[in-house]
Structures are given as C-alpha cells and as structure tokens.
Amino acid sequence: MTDSYDLYELEINGRTVNTPIALASMAGITDADYVLARKDNCGIAFIGGYSTDEPTIGAGKEMEKSGRAEFLSDDPIATIKEEVSKLKDSGVLTGLNLRGCEPQSFINVFNAVGKDVIYEIDAHCLQPAMVGAGAGEYLLKNTEKLAGIIRALKDAGAVVSVKIRAGVSDDDAALAAVIDDVGADIIHVDLMDFGTAKLKEIRNNCNILIIANNSINDFEAARDMFSHGADIVSLGRHADNATLSGIRAGIEVQAKESGWYNSPKQLCRGGDIRSLAFCCMPVKRCPLIPFLDKIGVSPKEYHDYKVESVAGTKLSPGESTCFGSLAWCCKSSTPCMFRDLSLKREQLSHREYMRSKRRLSEQIMKRIFDARKGIPAVSESDAEE
C-alpha cells in the first residue's frame, strides 16, 4: 500500500492527511458519530458548528425556533470535548467549526480542548440572528474583528482555519491576503455559484492551504477544484460514503499516475499562480508577461526565481529543450519528445518530474508571497487571462 504522505504530501498539525477530502460542518448534523460513519473516506472532518458564547448560543436558540437544526448545549465546551474524544482514534483529523463574537470565546474552547484539533472560525453563517450577534458572516464585513480572533488563536498556538463564503466580502482577493497575513493556516471557502474563477483569485492571493467547497459530488468536480488551486476539497450535503469513496479513489489514481494530485493547468489554459512552474522563459507574446505584471513580479525576478530554485536539481539541465533547462518545460501531460529526452538523460520519470515541479512551484510561491506581503495582486477579472 502506498503511504498517504507519499501520495499527497499533506501534513496539518504534524499529522499526515490520509486523503485530501474534508467533511464540511453542518450544524445539527456533522458530529462525531456522523464522522465515524465516514471515517474511511475522509482525511479531515469539521464538526459543528458550535456556538461558544452567550450571544451565539442565543442566536442558535432563535435559529432552532425557526426550524433549523443546531447543536445547542448549555455547556458547549463539555459537548465539544466529548465529541473530540470520540474521534481520537478515528484516523481523521478533527476540526471544530466554532461560532463566537470575541477572541476569548474561541480561546476558552482552545484552553479546554488543546492543540490537537483545527480551530475553524465560522465566518460563513448567514442566518440573521447569528450575523446580528456579531458572528458568522458578520466577520467578513468586519475583518479587524476576524483578524483579532485569528491572532488570538495563533498566539495561543492553535492551527486555524477560516470558513468563508465567497462573494460576501467586497473583495475576496484582499480578504484572502489578510487571512494569510494575519497568520491563519487554512482558508476554507464555500464558492457558492462563483466556481473556479473565484478559487483561482483566492489562490493567487494567498500562500496557505485552501479547502474548496460547494456542490462537489464527484471526482470530476473535485479535479476541477484541484487544478484551479485547491489543496483539499470538502463536502457537506453530498457527503455520503458512495460519493466520498468515488472521489477518494479518483484522487488516489491521479496522485499515483501524475505525481502531483492537484497540479495546476498551464497558465495559458487558465492555470493559477502555481502554474508559473510550467511557464516558458519570459520572451514571447503570451499570457505570461501580463500575468507577471499583474502580480507585481518583473520578468527578471521571475527568471531568477526559477533559475535559483532549480540550481543543483535535476530540473536545471535540459539541453534538448526549448530553453536549455527543464525549469521552463511544460506539464508531463503535454506530449513533448524534447523534454522527454532530457528527462531520460536525468533518469527522471514523469511522476518524479511532476513532483520536482511541485517543489519548484512551492519555492516560486514563497519568493513571490514573501516579497508582496499584504498586497492583493490579482482580482477576479485579472485572473481570467
């Protein structure tokens, strides 16, 4: 059996993620028993949402009265602890989807539950009672408040995810940049009807893990998310075992065959920022130079990032290729005898080649994001090059 780390190279909180599939929280539904019934087909599960303080518990009660299922408890921390302990040996990484108005509401849970789980801030709930209480979607319109909660959790030592709903903020690109800047580990985005263009916009503006969500119900839909910037996909309404296991099997085949389960499309085919790893030298009229311009990277910087990143690796040579180095070469799925000749010389299989390109893309991303901390670069329309 192939090791999950070898397939996906995904680690959160020091633990390998078995498969890049998450269960999305659904209040009143996604609890430990729900997760245990699906544990063989997911890598992460966000249980909840749980209301953690007086205003959100009050809002939850109102929501329940109007017919919504909720996980309500007068002692939410005791409930959460019990649920977390049921999942301890499940092999699934546990995340807590939490509603709260103040940093302290989240810190109280952290102090009781500890570092082993992911703390997901519910900035997604649109129910008027919750928004009126100052939680859920309210945080997307009041980013200073959201930033304060992220900071408090990070200072305490938590792994933090922020669950957002696309299209609520006036500027999702800026929101993604802020969430990254403040130190969150994960953006979990419900893309609503915006699809992969929005996902790409978020990918192009942050360098943290992205969980893509909404209406994913088969491997094709998951693959579309992966090739536009998602590291993980999450399922709510369609998270039955038949659907989950079909997606899991598809991703596993993709990872084994290609070597990079969420490789981006080429830039000229709609790829996101990671696809710079497959772009040519910046010498011709094509989408590369306008894209570099939009993300604030000069052609020389792009050139240097790539050359320096591949120095001393098997991607550095490439006599038979267009630009004399495999650094500038296309995806393995694009047939090319010249590239393959160089790969043969370097004794690199297509799978190893793609793994090396993943490393290259990580290094380019790091250089770009280190240099532009906090400056959102690519809006949605820009991303449509």
Ligand X SMILES: Cc1cc2nc3c(=O)[nH]c(=O)nc-3n(C[C@H](O)[C@H](O)[C@H](O)COP(=O)(O)O)c2cc1C
Footprint on this chain of ligand SF4 (rule: CB under 6 A): 266-268, 278-280, 286-288, 321-322, 328-330, 336, 338-339
User: x/- site string to ligand X, residues 326 to 365, per CB under 6 A?
Assistant: ----------------------------------------
329 touches, from ligand SF4, ligand X, none (C-beta below 5 to 8 Å by class): ligand SF4
Shortest distance, CB of residue 207 to ligand X, whole angstroms?
23
**Cα 346 from Cα 82, distance rounded (Å):** 54
* Cβ closest to ligand X, residue 199 vs residue 297: 199
27 touches, from ligand SF4, ligand X, none (C-beta below 5 to 8 Å by class): ligand X
* Cβ closest to ligand SF4, residue 262 vs residue 332: 332
User: x/- site string to ligand X, residues 235 to 274, per CB under 6 A?
Assistant: xxxx------------------------------------
Which of 4, 18, 25, 205 binds ligand X (CB under 6 A)? It is 25
* Cβ closest to ligand X, residue 26 vs residue 310: 26
- What 3-state DSSP class applies to 209? strand
Going along 142-191, which residue ranges are E strands? 159-165, 186-190
267 touches, from ligand X, ligand SF4, none (C-beta below 5 to 8 Å by class): ligand SF4
Footprint on residues 208-237 left by ligand X (CB under 6 A): 213-216, 235-237
CB contact set of 290 (below 8 Å; sequence gap of 6+): 385
- What 3-state DSSP class applies to 381? coil
* Cβ closest to ligand SF4, residue 262 vs residue 321: 321
DSSP string, 6-59: HHH--EETTEE-SSSEEEPP-TTT-SHHHHHTTGGG-SEEEEEEEE-SHHHHHH
**Cα 332 from Cα 354, distance rounded (Å):** 7
* Span near ligand X by CB under 6 A; candidates 10-18, 25-33, 276-284, 371-379: 25-33
Angle CA 42–352–220, to nearest 5:
40
**Cα 127 from Cα 136, distance rounded (Å):** 8
How many CA atoms does the CB half-sphere of 70 hold within 13 Å? 26
Shortest distance, CB of residue 253 to ligand X, whole angstroms?
22
Radius of gyration of the chain (CA): 21
